[in-house]
Structure 1
Amino acid sequence: MCGRYSLAKPGRAIEQHFPPLKMGASHPARYNIAPTQPAPVIVHREGERIFQIMRWGLVPSWAQDKKMASRLINARAETLSEKPSFKNSFKTRRCLVPADGFFEWKTDGKSKRPHYIFLKSKDLFAMAGIWSQWDREETPLLTYSIITTPANSRLAPLHPRMPVILAPENYGAWLDPATEAIHLQSLLAPYPSDFMDHYEISGLVNSPAHDAPEILAPLG
């Protein structure tokens, strides 16, 4: 799964990585983005790529209330086109979730040790996401979920699943509502192990209240 991630790079770097991007929202550095918090995503709207803030944890348009959001932070690639909570969003409401790293906890006996995972290049990347609009309150609620797939060989010792990371050449097809979902299934594969790395970090990340650079420091 993916239960925490970071987006610490500045807005200029984000614009350069996701061109042509219209920055419709400001972006403070985030080191510990947690479920139910607002965070940036990139969507396709009226022919443009828009940088927009949504809340992490999908609330389907048909939901009676917002309670299910905390349970729908991830969507499994294998059942994305079948699950009622996800299938409509997968068809036409896909997004990119920009990040520069994410966290997983390795079980070690009775303890769980957090690790920070990133690209060896230290570049930004995009996790595949889906989004929804919930209209049962005065102000529409925009929410998203991150798609997961089986972990690659480097990350499998930490956790059996990982977020889907899209190659830049596939950003356009993923965002375009006109792309049929059946043609995107092949993109929902583990990112190659050779391009990824990780290290153990302190338990500061365990609390969503901690959102500072020291979270990313290697342990020891």
Structure 2
Amino acid sequence: MCGRFFIAQAPEVFAAFYGYPERPNFPPRYNVAPTQPVPVVIAQGGERQFRLVRWGFWPGWLKDPKTFPLVINARVETILEKPTFRGAVRHRRCVFLADGFYEWRRAGTGRTATRTPFAIARADGAPMALAGLWESWLGADGSEIDTAAIVTTGANGTMAAVHDRMPAILAPDEVGPWLDAGGVPPGEAAGLCRPCPDAWLRLDPVSDRVNAVRNDDADLIVPLDRPRPTVVADAPAAEHPRSSDEDAQGALF
């Protein structure tokens, strides 16, 4: 599963890495949460494009979003069959712009249970290409909202120490085939969404300040065993957004 992620590098790094012509000037974000606008790269007419979408997938056939659960993750094992994602995996695949994501390792049960947050990034410092699906939802009043979900797969050996699932992280040479919905059929594209090699990832325990959505600063991704910048004050406590895989795995927060 993936319920929070971060975008730390400069916009020009992502533009060069993914090869889209737009030059958006977006700020770093260290605690991206569900329902917020998030940057993705898509391909239309053979050209890559930068786009902002809502993180929380609404299928095109949806009548009333208020009746639909918050869907931020899509299990690769079921995206070819689930009505929610069947159209998107055929025609509207995207890549989330990210440098890494957070996951919580749970230990114990009941009141004695503990949840330790980890920041997971690429060991080589490159952008982390998270496979995604997007959809344009049209309201009865003519409004149009682009929405998206991150594709998830089973955990690799490194991630298994924290959680049993992880985002599907694409290799640089897999980004093109994943985005090429016109040339690469859904089954072949889904085959790209597998656990990445263990050596790709670095896992660092981080401050539990990441638990509060309103905290959004570079201190959040600093490992606990490294010197930390001074933070003036934590943001007020906020209700944590709920998130789940499309198959209703349960809330992360």
Letter in 1 for 2:13: A
Query: Secondary structure of 1:184's match?
Result: helix
Give how far 1:103 is off.
0.4
Give the strand-richer structure, 1 or 2. 1
1:45-94 Cα distance to aligned partner (Å, 9 max, x none): 23311111001010111112223665210000100101111111011100
Q: 1:219 to 1:70 in 2, by over 3 A?
A: farther
Looking at structure 2, the residues matched to 97 and 69 of structure 1 have their Cα atoms a distance apart, in angstroms, of: 22
Looking at structure 2, the residues matched to 117 and 60 of structure 1 have their Cα atoms a distance apart, in angstroms, of: 29
1:99-145 Cα distance to aligned partner (Å, 9 max, x none): 11100000022121100001110111211000001101443010000
Looking at structure 2, the residues matched to 141 and 175 of structure 1 have their Cα atoms a distance apart, in angstroms, of: 20
The aligned counterpart of 1:129 is 132
Looking at structure 1, the residues matched to 205 and 194 of structure 2 have their Cα atoms a distance apart, in angstroms, of: 25
Is 1:143 the equivalent of 2:147?
yes
Residues 120 and 204 in structure 2, CA contact (< 8 A), matched pair in contact too? yes
1:150-186 Cα distance to aligned partner (Å, 9 max, x none): 0000111100000000111111111112121122122
What is the RMSD computed on CA atoms of the aligned residues?
A: 1.4
Letter in 2 for 1:89: A
Residues 36 and 70 in structure 1, CA contact (< 8 A), matched pair in contact too? no
Q: 1:24 to 1:52 in 2, by over 3 A?
A: farther
The aligned counterpart of 1:112 is 115
Task: Show structure 1 runs of 5+ residues with no match.
Answer: none
Q: 1:164 to 1:135 in 2, by over 3 A?
A: same
Q: 1:25 to 1:71 in 2, by over 3 A?
A: same
Query: Secondary structure of 1:115's match?
Result: strand
Looking at structure 2, the residues matched to 17 and 69 of structure 1 have their Cα atoms a distance apart, in angstroms, of: 35
Looking at structure 2, the residues matched to 68 and 155 of structure 1 have their Cα atoms a distance apart, in angstroms, of: 33
Runs of 4+ in structure 1 off by over 3 angstroms are 67-70
Looking at structure 2, the residues matched to 30 and 117 of structure 1 have their Cα atoms a distance apart, in angstroms, of: 15
Looking at structure 2, the residues matched to 145 and 197 of structure 1 have their Cα atoms a distance apart, in angstroms, of: 23
The aligned counterpart of 1:181 is 186
Q: Which has the larger radius of gyration?
A: 2
Q: How does 1:192-203 map to 2 (within 5 A)?
A: 192-203=197-208
Looking at structure 1, the residues matched to 67 and 29 of structure 2 have their Cα atoms a distance apart, in angstroms, of: 24
Task: Show structure 2 runs of 5+ residues with no match.
Answer: 226-253
Query: Secondary structure of 1:9's match?
Result: coil
Residues 132 and 149 in structure 2, CA contact (< 8 A), matched pair in contact too? yes
Letter in 2 for 1:159: H
* Equivalent of 1:219 in 220, 224, 238: 224
The aligned counterpart of 1:153 is 157
**Number of aligned positions between the proteins:** 219
Give the TM-score normalised by structure 1.
0.95
* Equivalent of 1:207 in 203, 212, 227: 212
Give the TM-score normalised by structure 2.
0.83
Query: Secondary structure of 1:51's match?
Result: strand
Query: Secondary structure of 1:87's match?
Result: helix
Residues 38 and 55 in structure 1, CA contact (< 8 A), matched pair in contact too? yes
